[in-house]
Amino acid sequence: MENTKAAESAEYTKKITTKYGIEPKDVRRAGFHFALGILDAVCVVLVIGIVLSFLLSALMPPDDCDRGRFDRCGMKVLTDAKTGQEYLVTPEGGIIERKGGAK
Protein backbone atom coordinates (compact mmCIF):
# COMPACT_ATOMS: atom_id res chain seq x y z
CA MET A 1 0.00 0.00 0.00
CA GLU A 2 2.77 2.45 0.92
CA ASN A 3 4.70 1.53 -2.22
CA THR A 4 1.73 2.45 -4.38
CA LYS A 5 1.30 5.80 -2.58
CA ALA A 6 4.99 6.52 -2.96
CA ALA A 7 4.84 5.54 -6.64
CA GLU A 8 1.77 7.73 -7.20
CA SER A 9 3.47 10.63 -5.46
CA ALA A 10 6.61 10.20 -7.53
CA GLU A 11 4.55 9.98 -10.72
CA TYR A 12 2.58 13.12 -9.79
CA THR A 13 5.81 14.99 -9.03
CA LYS A 14 7.25 13.89 -12.37
CA LYS A 15 4.09 15.08 -14.16
CA ILE A 16 4.13 18.49 -12.51
CA THR A 17 7.86 18.89 -13.09
CA THR A 18 7.53 17.94 -16.76
CA LYS A 19 4.40 19.99 -17.44
CA TYR A 20 5.30 23.23 -15.64
CA GLY A 21 9.05 22.95 -15.14
CA ILE A 22 8.67 23.49 -11.39
CA GLU A 23 10.09 21.13 -8.84
CA PRO A 24 8.50 20.75 -5.39
CA LYS A 25 11.67 21.96 -3.67
CA ASP A 26 11.41 25.20 -5.68
CA VAL A 27 7.85 25.72 -4.43
CA ARG A 28 8.93 25.13 -0.82
CA ARG A 29 11.85 27.53 -1.27
CA ALA A 30 9.56 30.20 -2.74
CA GLY A 31 7.13 29.80 0.18
CA PHE A 32 9.97 30.13 2.67
CA HIS A 33 11.27 33.31 1.04
CA PHE A 34 7.74 34.76 0.85
CA ALA A 35 7.24 34.19 4.60
CA LEU A 36 10.66 35.67 5.30
CA GLY A 37 9.76 38.76 3.26
CA ILE A 38 6.51 39.23 5.20
CA LEU A 39 8.40 38.91 8.49
CA ASP A 40 10.94 41.50 7.31
CA ALA A 41 8.15 43.92 6.37
CA VAL A 42 6.46 43.53 9.77
CA CYS A 43 9.77 44.13 11.57
CA VAL A 44 10.48 47.26 9.51
CA VAL A 45 7.02 48.69 10.32
CA LEU A 46 7.52 47.98 14.03
CA VAL A 47 10.95 49.60 14.09
CA ILE A 48 9.64 52.68 12.26
CA GLY A 49 6.77 52.93 14.75
CA ILE A 50 9.10 52.68 17.74
CA VAL A 51 11.45 55.33 16.32
CA LEU A 52 8.57 57.72 15.54
CA SER A 53 7.13 57.24 19.02
CA PHE A 54 10.52 57.94 20.59
CA LEU A 55 11.01 61.08 18.47
CA LEU A 56 7.54 62.43 19.23
CA SER A 57 8.11 61.88 22.94
CA ALA A 58 11.46 63.64 22.76
CA LEU A 59 10.12 66.62 20.81
CA MET A 60 7.14 67.36 23.08
CA PRO A 61 7.98 69.97 25.72
CA PRO A 62 8.08 68.72 29.32
CA ASP A 63 5.35 69.71 31.80
CA ASP A 64 5.81 70.91 35.38
CA CYS A 65 5.16 67.41 36.75
CA ASP A 66 7.63 65.68 34.38
CA ARG A 67 10.98 64.63 35.79
CA GLY A 68 12.67 64.79 32.40
CA ARG A 69 12.09 64.53 28.67
CA PHE A 70 11.82 60.74 28.76
CA ASP A 71 10.35 60.36 32.26
CA ARG A 72 6.90 61.89 31.96
CA CYS A 73 4.11 61.75 34.53
CA GLY A 74 1.37 61.50 31.89
CA MET A 75 -1.22 63.60 33.76
CA LYS A 76 -3.90 65.34 31.70
CA VAL A 77 -6.56 67.91 32.46
CA LEU A 78 -10.10 66.70 31.71
CA THR A 79 -12.99 69.18 31.64
CA ASP A 80 -16.53 67.97 32.38
CA ALA A 81 -18.73 69.14 29.50
CA LYS A 82 -21.81 69.64 31.69
CA THR A 83 -20.38 71.36 34.78
CA GLY A 84 -17.14 72.82 33.43
CA GLN A 85 -15.26 71.32 36.40
CA GLU A 86 -11.68 70.30 35.69
CA TYR A 87 -10.11 67.02 36.80
CA LEU A 88 -6.55 65.69 36.73
CA VAL A 89 -6.39 62.24 35.17
CA THR A 90 -3.42 59.85 35.46
CA PRO A 91 -2.46 57.13 32.94
CA GLU A 92 -3.38 54.45 35.52
CA GLY A 93 -6.97 55.77 35.66
CA GLY A 94 -6.79 57.89 38.80
CA ILE A 95 -8.90 61.05 38.80
CA ILE A 96 -8.73 64.05 41.16
CA GLU A 97 -10.83 67.20 41.21
CA ARG A 98 -8.74 70.20 40.26
CA LYS A 99 -9.16 73.09 42.72
CA GLY A 100 -7.67 76.50 42.15
CA GLY A 101 -4.56 76.85 40.07
CA ALA A 102 -4.16 78.50 36.70
CA LYS A 103 -6.68 77.80 33.97
pLDDT score at 43: 97
The Cα–Cα gap between 19 and 97 comes to 77
**pTM of the predicted model as reported, rounded to 2 decimal places:** 0.49
pLDDT of residue 103: 52
Whether residue 36 is found in the same domain as residue 82: no
Residue 67 lies in a domain: no
Q: So what's the pLDDT on residue 89?
A: 86
pLDDT for 1 equals: 55
Chunked into runs of 10 residues, the chain (103 residues) has average pLDDT values of 72 72 78 93 97 84 70 80 87 79 55
Question: Pairing state of beta strands 95-97 and 76-79?
Answer: unpaired
Domain extent, residue 16, equals 2-59
- DSSP annotation of 53 reads H
Q: Residue 48's pLDDT is what?
A: 97
The predicted pLDDT at position 35 comes to 94
Q: Do residues 14 and 44 share a domain?
A: yes
47 lies in the same domain as 94: no
Pairing label, strands 86-89, 76-79: antiparallel
Based on the fold, state whether residues 55 and 9 are members of the same structural domain. Answer: yes
Contacts of 13-21 spanning 24+ positions with Cβ under 8 A: none
For residue 26, what pLDDT is reported?
79
